[in-house]
Chains A and B, each alone.
Chain A
Amino acid sequence: MLSSMEKSIAELRETFKNGGTKSISWRKSQLKALLQLINQNEDSIFKALDQDLGKSPVESYRDEVGVLKKSVTYTLSCLEKWVAPKKAEVPLLFFPAKAEVMPQPLGVVLIFSSWNFPFTLALDPLIGAISAGNTVLLKPSDLAPACMSFLVETIPKYLDNKAVKVLAGGADIGERLLQLKWDKIFFTGSPRVGRLVMAAAAKHLTPVTLELGGKSPAIVDTLSTTPSKAKVTAKRIVGGKWGPCTGQACIAIDYVLVEEKLASTLIELLKKTIKRFYGENIKSLKNISRIVNKHQFQRLVNLLKDPNVADSIVYGGSVDEEKLVIEPTILLDPPLDSEIMSEEIFGPLLPIITLKNIEESIDFINSKSNPLVIYAFTEDDTFKKRILSETSSGTVTFNDSMVQFLCDSLPFGGVGQSGFGRYHGKYSFDTFSHEKSIMHRGFYPEIEPRYPPWTDFKLLFLKLAYQFDYFGLILLLLGFKRS
């Protein structure tokens, strides 16, 4: 007796087998339908995001709705190009052979999304999976329940139910899904759960993409340039920390590295900017999300419990348990072995670590595991080159924060503990495709020396052939070369 979950998946497999998702017209119709879904339900989406995370419409548009619209539109405009086979070069030896690489859908794919960007992290991979011609089971996070319900109710109204399904539920549903066989699993979340996903995938040899996180640092080297650049730096840091879901983002700035002598300048600029953007104190906080739930709230509050950490607070620190709000908080040099400096913060607490010399930031970053992003505010080209060649991260962004997310031509993904695999733009299409190699030969001409019985002559012939030493081959055939 199959459970309803297994029946759903069986239907996805059947649809894929019957070629229901293969045609470009099907894929385009689904993408257009998704665009319609977003366009016609913007208000409901804003409402759900406000309910789950206290996001304002502008933040919701900037980080979720707008990003998705952009992604669908870009994919629609490029799809035909991406689906077309690409010619591959064939050595003259095999003339008149042809070779090409043809992208093919993997089959039935599973997407796990996260709670902090419940629409973007669910639907952006979905765009990739559909564009590549797969059938999809989407499992949104139940920690953003209003968004999850919206997806469960609304997707069936717009997309092909036989090919795209959404399943509500918590970790137990996730575990059950992982027991089954998939052709690909796309996971966004924590490294801890990433390990479980990959271990489950190993049983079926299912390829996975893991979009995880880490402590994404911001190196600040531009405070001693012009005042306007310093101001912009501060804005971009504030925007990159508290802008995305109050710091609950894999690409949010986790901590800042700055030279000792510039720390107070930075802190003053940050304070001013925070007050201007979000308000003077916790009572009058606006334009900022809240903490997703009590569990995360408690975790963040606990990071501040250590007295040495609490002592390092130079701004903020107030919390409102009822409203699940923690005000933007800045810490100056908390102990390096404290939890706030060893775990990914994923919240509105910003440690500032001071160094004697900004170049030390490279060793500091390398002492921790590879982050998803390194932000570096600097105009020193040599320093930029050093950062690029001496550190390793998913992405490096110079002189800004967050915007790399909007570049469809840049692969978005981690390395090391921050994950593997990538997506966005064509990378999304590729991540859900198998690149099949195809070679076409004719029956003529024949390369006789391939066949036994083998002789020294045949061996020499093929050695020259393998080296594409055509001149040598001619000499051999004319009798001018000896074995």
Chain B
Amino acid sequence: MLMENKAENKAVFDAESAKEVVKELRDSFVTGKTKSHRWRVTQLKAMLKMLDENEPQIVAALRDDLSKPEFESSLYEIQMLKNSCRLALKEMNHWMMPEKAKTSLTTFPSSAEIVSEPLGVVLVISAWNYPFLLSLDPVVGAISAGNAIVLKPSEMAPASSSLIAKLVADYLDSSCIKVVEGAVPETSALLEQKWDKILYTGNGRVARIVMAAAAKHLTPVVLELGGKSPVIVDSNINLKVATRRIIAGKWGCNNGQACISPDYIITTKDYATKLVDSFKCELERFYGKDPLESKDLSRIVNSNHFDRLSKLMDEEKVSSKIVHGGQRNEKNLQIAPTIFLDVPVNSLIMKEEIFGPLLPIITVDKVEQSFDLIHSSGGKPLAAYLFTNNKKLKCKFVETVSAGGLVVNDTAVHLAIHSLPFGGVGESGMGSNHGKFSFDAFSHKKAVLYRGFAGDAFLRYPPYTPGKLTLLQALLSGSIVGIIRALLGWFWA
């Protein structure tokens, strides 16, 4: 169907091809096929089957692309996807039901409801770090909302991209769900078309391009981006548990290459040494004396990112601040968990999102100063974390730190709570998904008002008189007393 720009004799996927794909999907959508509850259920069940029957292949593709440990692939990609499908299958009936809306005296007699309908033909552009999860989870949402879908997986995870293309073609309804593989040219061709919604997961630079392209067609977008997710570590906590949870959220998630990875730590000068020691202890317990030998760490995705991370590590005022790790293997694209203490706040590693296994620790005199530091960094990150037992600090954190999502005393787990909307704010994105929020993201909530013919308020219509004005004032206020009074005044006038 849709070809990559590989060999000369293979067709190029250009704007014409993209137009044809959209037309085909729009024709399918117009038949009403994707709207039926049965179609949605069939597709979601097929996806579950797809995941069940291909676990080893998925794990292998992720190993190829990212050296992702089987554990992470199994849990954070496959299992989370299955959960998503199961939740949608269980709740979809409920999500699809119209929601009753209250009506007031002003429009009496009337009844109102809000009906969810699919937006139509939607585009999902996903990222390379969780290639299955970030491709198929939005697809689950789009299917449950009844849309036709084009999925563009990231070319930076090529084994995963091609496996996704194959599996989707084999298991799902190709007349309504298609995968287009490729890089910039193919993505640009897709972005030129008119979509009813675009969901993009990735970085801020490309997000701007996506939104600008969407603007031409007035297409609404969901942008799931990233940022520098800070971790504030207070004293008087269970340091061992806190350290382990930070490690799990940082190096345990694709070796720091995750949008909600703890990016950097802020702690007090007094506590820093204890924290560093705790990290050293737990990191060794988890990954052994030589982390480059551990099977439980992903590698860096490609040499571009390896070079980028090396540059961050090697910056003059930063390289001297390494207190743990620093080992690298360029051939295998490996970087060991590396901790820095007190790098300058204007260093590169503190300016851009790290997205890798480097963890700077910044120290302050008093833990409350962390908030100023976070605010002065400017951007609003996707997540922010705090480890503390201090109630006041928790309150201040929750009220004042602006981020997509906050977690107190853990990292990353809020992803597993489907009742929480997952999304960013400011530079970390717009819109949200997961669970019902995905269903909503791909739906139009249509307002419906039912009126009868009784009760026609004559005072809506001309001729407009002062008396009518008084009555209208009462009617619009919705106050029954006011209305009765005005009516009485009208009749007795």
| Chain A interface (Cβ < 8 Å from any Cβ of B) | 17, 56-59, 61-62, 66-67, 69-70, 73, 88-91, 94, 99, 101-102, 104, 106-107, 183, 191, 194-195, 198-199, 201-203, 205, 207, 210, 212, 222, 228-229, 232-233, 235-236, 238-239, 243, 276-278, 286-288, 388-390, 392-400, 403-404, 406-412, 415-417, 419-422, 434-444, 446, 450-454, 458-459, 462-463, 466-467
Contacts and interface: CB of A to CB of B under 8 A. Distances in A.
Given A198-B211, A397-B451, A436 B403 contact: yes
Nearest to B78: A463
Q: What bracket does the count of chain B residues touching chain A fall in?
A: 35 or more
A195 B218 contact: yes
B453 A228 contact: yes
20 contacts: A56-B464, A88-B417, A89-B417, A99-B420, A202-B215, A239-B460, A243-B462, A395-B446, A395-B449, A398-B448, A403-B106, A403-B107, A404-B447, A407-B101, A438-B407, A444-B241, A446-B244, A451-B286, A466-B80, A467-B82
B287 interface: yes
B74 A463 contact: yes
B388 to A, nearest CB: 10
Interface stretch (B155-163, B176-184, B340-348, B427-435): B427-435
A169 B296 CA distance: 61
Name the residue in B69, B208, B241, B448 with the highest tally of chain A Cβ atoms < 10 Å from its Cβ.
B448
Given A276-B462, A408-B104, A410-B101, 13 more contacts: A202-B208, A205-B223, A207-B430, A212-B218, A287-B463, A288-B462, A389-B35, A411-B447, A437-B417, A439-B417, A440-B394, A441-B413, A452-B296
Contacts of B425: 104, 106, 434, 436
B407 A439 contact: yes
A70 B394 contact: no
Given A56-B464, A61-B472, A439-B417, A395 B448 contact: yes
B438 interface: no
A431 to B, nearest CB: 12
B19 interface: no
B414 to A, nearest CB: 4
Nearest to B225: A205
A201 B211 contact: yes
Contact of A439 (B112, B420, B464): B420
A58 B452 contact: no
Given A397-B449, A419-B218, A452 B463 contact: no
A57 B106 CA distance: 19
B450 A399 contact: yes
Contacts of B478: 70
B145 interface: no
A441 B211 contact: no
Q: Which 4 A-B pairs have the closest CB atoms?
A: A58-B464, A287-B462, A202-B211, A198-B215
B93 interface: no
B421 A415 contact: no
Given A94-B413, A441-B409, A453-B296, A422 B445 contact: yes
Interface string B153-189: 0000000000000000000000000000000000000
Contacts of A229: 453
A378 to B, nearest CB: 11
Nearest to A424: B447
B409 A443 contact: yes
Q: Specify the main secondary structure of chain A where it touches its partner.
A: mixed
B419 A415 contact: no
A101 to B, nearest CB: 7
A107 B241 CA distance: 36
A277 B296 CA distance: 79
Name the residue in A66, A203, A467 with the highest tally of chain B Cβ atoms < 10 Å from its Cβ.
A66
B296 A403 contact: no
B208 A88 contact: no
B119 interface: yes
A413 B427 CA distance: 25
Contacts of B103: 407, 409
A232 B472 contact: no
B310 interface: no
A239 B237 CA distance: 67
A327 to B, nearest CB: 14
B422 interface: yes
B476 A62 contact: yes
Nearest to A66: B476
Nearest to B445: A411
A62 B464 CA distance: 11
B477 interface: yes
A436 B447 contact: no
A157 B214 CA distance: 40
Contact of B464 (A57, A434, A462): A57
A398 B398 CA distance: 45
B8 to A, nearest CB: 36
Contacts of A235: 456, 461
Given A403-B451, A407-B107, A463-B74, A420 B445 contact: no
